[in-house]
């Protein structure tokens, strides 16, 4: 059973939309049309076999189809060798709603417990954040979740939980080459100092960062004989020592992503990546609704404000 963050592979398995029959019906738009269920299952097996042992799930991915699909995958691997997280979604109005939701997701995935239970975003609970997490603790006490984790919290919200005795195993949030808000606010440092594993979603910004062909990325990809996406993943995992949560539907993409760990990049080139700033994304960073109150776009929509 995986109990320590150091046992977790630096590339986490994203599952957005996997197993969907008709992708046009997804809750959110995806940029990918590739992959069949077989490819996707192969991609998951390729990732797991290569050591990727952290997987995220959510009911809202393909309206529950992804969870059903993942049940097939989970049946094929030893349960204790993978760290499975799942998210609480909308409509938490009473403490009891937490267990009702979790039971439903466990059933769909043929699981008896998850390794970490996550509130998808602050706005999905009508209860105050701290109260929600205090109530989520009962799922750990009942053995239905081993840890509590979080997603899309602001630095102040993480502090509120931490200072009130909620131990977070990890937090899923947005971080990539263009969206560096969490570096600027000290969020990443706080998590590191408090041993909260940061799992960065949209590390490739759904392949849109590479499509921009920024001269720096094009140059480094050529210099190190890697793809632009590999440079992006290497930066997050090996250089920043964070976890990259990537959705890949094909074994080829999985292999390419894992091969990003095999390159050594010079210090001065890593510094150039650190110094890279996106004028567009920086210009709207102060408009992010960091507490997810509904006033503006939240952190989980920041990366989608531009192509
Ligand atoms: N907690 C949250 O609120 C939150 C928010 C956003 C995202 N997430 C989760 O984080 C995970 C990752 O986010 P994401 O899927 O939005 O973004 P992403 O992982 O940055 O990008 C995924 C896209 O990139 C493509 N891709 C993967 N590897 C590639 C490669 N080597 N070369 C070219 N293209 C490649 C995938 O295509 P193929 O599918 O064709 O391989 C897919 O279209 C998802 O499972 C998502 O659900 C969580």
What domains are there in the chain, each with its CATH number? 5-302 (3.20.20.100)
49: left (phi over 0), alpha (psi -120 to 50) or beta: alpha
pLDDT at position 277 over 90: yes
Q: Which protein residues touch ligand 1 with a CB less than 6 Å away?
A: 14-16, 31-32, 34-35, 120, 151-152, 172, 201-207, 229, 245-250, 253, 256-257, 300
Which ligand 1 atom is nearest residue 257's CA?
31
Candidate from 202, 212, 217 with most ligand 1 atoms within 8 A of CB, to mutate: 202
Please, are residues 116 and 169 in contact by the beta-carbon 8 Å criterion? yes
Q: Give tens-digit pLDDT for 177-187.
A: 999 999 999 99
Confidence of residue 36 (pLDDT cuts 50, 70, 90): low
| CA 202–ligand 1 middle distance (angstroms) | 6
Summarize pLDDT for 60-101 with one digit per residue, the tens: 999 999 999 999 999 999 999 999 999 999 889 999 999 999
Tell me the pTM.
0.95
Atom of ligand 1 nearest to the CA of 61: 47
Q: Please state whether 22 falls in left (phi above 0), alpha (psi between -120 and 50) or beta.
A: beta
Q: Are 117 and 169 in contact (CB under 8 A)?
A: no
Other residues' Cβ atoms within 10 Å of the Cβ of residue 269: 17
């Amino acid at each position: 059973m995986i109990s320590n963050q150091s046992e977790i592979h630096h590339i986490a398995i994203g599952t957005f939309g996997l197993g969907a029959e008709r992708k046009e019906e997804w809750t959110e738009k995806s940029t990918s049309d590739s992959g069949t269920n077989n490819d996707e299952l192969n991609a998951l097996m390729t990732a797991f076999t290569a050591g990727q042992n952290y997987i995220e799930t959510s009911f809202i991915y393909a309206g529950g189809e992804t969870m059903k699909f993942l049940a097939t995958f989970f049946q094929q691997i030893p349960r204790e060798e993978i760290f499975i997280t799942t998210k609480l979604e909308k409509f938490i109005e009473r403490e009891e709603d937490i267990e009702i939701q979790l039971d439903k997701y466990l059933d769909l995935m043929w699981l008896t417990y998850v390794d970490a239970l996550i509130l998808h975003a602050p706005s999905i609970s009508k209860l105050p954040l701290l109260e929600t997490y205090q109530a989520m603790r009962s799922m750990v006490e009942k053995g239905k979740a081993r840890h509590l984790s979080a997603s899309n919290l602001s630095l102040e919200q993480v502090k509120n939980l931490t200072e009130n005795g909620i131990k977070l195993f990890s937090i899923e949030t947005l971080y990539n080459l263009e969206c560096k808000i969490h570096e600027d606010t000290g969020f990443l440092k706080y998590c590191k100092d408090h041993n909260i594993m940061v799992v960065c979603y949209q590390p490739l910004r759904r392949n849109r960062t590479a499509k921009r062909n920024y001269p720096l990325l094009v140059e480094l990809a050529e210099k190190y004989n890697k793809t632009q996406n590999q440079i992006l993943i290497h930066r997050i995992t090996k250089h920043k020592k964070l976890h990259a949560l990537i959705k890949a539907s094909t074994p080829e993409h999985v292999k390419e992503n894992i091969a990003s760990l095999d390159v050594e990049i010079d210090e001065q080139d890593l510094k150039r990546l650190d110094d890279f700033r996106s004028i567009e994304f920086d210009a709207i960073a102060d408009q992010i609704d960091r507490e997810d109150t509904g006033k503006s776009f939240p952190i989980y929509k920041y990366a989608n404000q531009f192509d």
